[in-house]
Chains A and B, each alone.
Chain A
Amino acid sequence: MKIEKVVVIGAGTMGSGIAQWFAQELCSVELVDNSSEQLERAKKSIFDSWNKLVLKEKLTSIQAEKMKKLIEFKSLDTVTKNADLVIEAIIENLEIKKDLFQKLDGYFSEHTILSSNTSSFPIHLMAEAVTLARRKNFVGLHFFNPATIMKLVEVIKGKESSEEICEELYQWFDSKGKKPAMCKDSPGFIVNRVARNFYGEPLRIVDEENEEKMKEVDRILKEVGGFKMGPFELMDLIGIDVNYSVTCSVWEAYEKEPRFAPHRLQKKMVDEKRFGRKSKRGYYKYD
């Protein structure tokens, strides 16, 4: 498989990270957003990141300049129609994504693979927005933040995705130093499903608002378990509201299976607007 021209749609944190990674792999990248201000911010962030790598001598200035030339910041109607791969990384709203994919299907050439970086919607629901002919070229590609550092890409096979294309994408990412994981189109895919209990079980061990006990659980899971962060400090970093919303969405998708049930403390924190670091108060205080 040859992936030389990539279009990334959505210049938020994930989209710009994904675009940056592809440019670092010397693909020609077009990063697209409706907002020119957002594109400017993404450009500044990506270029600043490369400049820092040059200062740290992790990149040469020649390499950084080459990458800068490989990435363009555009609106959708000006991008190349014959891209090899398009990655959607816009807001997590199914209807907006479906509208976008309908447009993309009509815009890009027949060989273009359309993909979504969604973490919450089934790929087959988004594939409904494209023509039958396109559906074999429609997959999920779920990157992890920060996309330039985290090696995992979940390659998600939708109901009608071509096995061959998924396998080739898996091999391509593998050849570029990513660690792809092939998975079925099911709620939470792999990580957002299996990781739920890293939060859910410690919440049940603690079972009450007790900062000392939470600290203890965080310490043991780091010291004995080897995790880089404890569950409570990690939820505070991610945002308790964000984590709670993912928990609820996986729980609902599995028809309220008890294994995914949110804990009452999560709801309490959200109701009290204690979202973690960003609100200076979560499971811990950040004054």
Chain B
Amino acid sequence: MTNVSFGKYLLNFGFGTKEEKKDVLRKNSDRKIVMDLTCYDPAEFYNEFPQLVGTFAALFADESKKTEIHFRERSEEVVSKLKELGFQPVETTVVSCGFIFPRTIVQIINEACFALEEEVASASDIDRAMKFGVNYPKGPFEWLSGRKEYVRVLLAELLLKTGDQRYRASNLLK
């Protein structure tokens, strides 16, 4: 994880366990914090930490660095800082475990992994099918590349939060 401090704000980037993320919040109770919570439920953190004023999901951002961000307390300074750091914040009002894009994409990736595990097709043919059959901007395995841990953790979190077996991860992600 990386922290960037400016004015009264602290921006927390990168992947961490839920406890590591909460530790950052506990240790910075006097700051206004905006944190990357791609793999977790922002509502749980908002309830526990009043100093958390915004959350974002940058772990699945592509080269454009477009990043979903939710503000409990909107700050133009934070938006400008994120832009200065190369991000393109896209604001949302929807609070959901795993946000909107990461939550949707991990389920697509998980299904592609199940299909690969069952030898329905090769990873490259699955990517090709999704890109050229339904115009996905990337194939599921292209999205997965370098993000296996995030996918696994977010699926585990969704399973924990909902108890719904639809979030059970493919063996290829374990």
A residues with a Cβ closer than 8 A to B are 144, 150-152, 154, 179, 181-184, 186, 189-191, 193-198, 200-202, 205, 213, 216-217, 220-221, 223-228, 231, 258-259, 261
Contacts and interface: CB of A to CB of B under 8 A. Distances in A.
Nearest to A231: B104
B67 A224 contact: yes
A220 B100 contact: yes
Given A144-B134, A181-B128, A205-B94, 10 more contacts: A182-B125, A183-B121, A184-B119, A190-B120, A202-B104, A213-B94, A220-B90, A224-B66, A258-B164, A259-B111
A193 B135 contact: no
A205 B161 CA distance: 13
B135 A228 contact: yes
Contacts of B61: 224
Given A184-B121, A190-B120, A220-B94, A198 B104 contact: yes
A224 B101 contact: yes
A78 to B, nearest CB: 34
A152 B128 contact: yes
Count chain A CB atoms within 10 A of each CB in B99, B101, B112 and give the residue with the most.
Answer: B101
B118 to A, nearest CB: 7
Nearest to B111: A194
Interface stretch (B26-34, B45-53, B77-85, B136-144): B136-144
B11 to A, nearest CB: 18
A220 B108 contact: no
B129 A221 contact: no
A220 B66 CA distance: 10
Count chain A CB atoms within 10 A of each CB in B103, B107, B114, B126 and give the residue with the most.
Answer: B107
B72 interface: no
A201 B97 CA distance: 11
Contacts, number: 135
Contact of B133 (A182, A191, A224): A191
B66 to A, nearest CB: 5
A189 B129 CA distance: 10
B171 interface: no
Contacts of A197: 104, 107-108, 110-111
Contacts of A194: 108, 111-112, 115, 126, 129-130, 140
B104 A183 contact: no
B146 to A, nearest CB: 17
B68 interface: yes
B92 interface: yes
B108 A226 contact: no
B138 A226 contact: yes
A247 to B, nearest CB: 12
5 contacts: A150-B132, A184-B119, A186-B118, A227-B135, A259-B168
A198 B129 contact: no
A122 B131 CA distance: 23
Contacts of B115: 186, 190, 193-194
Nearest to B137: A226
Count chain B CB atoms within 10 A of each CB in A194, A198, A201, A213 and give the residue with the most.
Answer: A194
Given A194-B112, A226-B138, A201 B130 contact: no
A231 to B, nearest CB: 8
A257 B37 CA distance: 29
A223 B94 CA distance: 15
A194 B123 CA distance: 12
Contacts of A261: 166
B163 to A, nearest CB: 11
B166 A179 contact: no
Contact of B166 (A154, A198, A220, A258): A258
B122 interface: yes
Nearest to B139: A194
Contacts of B156: none
Nearest to B135: A228
A235 to B, nearest CB: 13
Contacts of A225: 101, 104-105, 137
Contacts of B111: 193-194, 196-197, 259
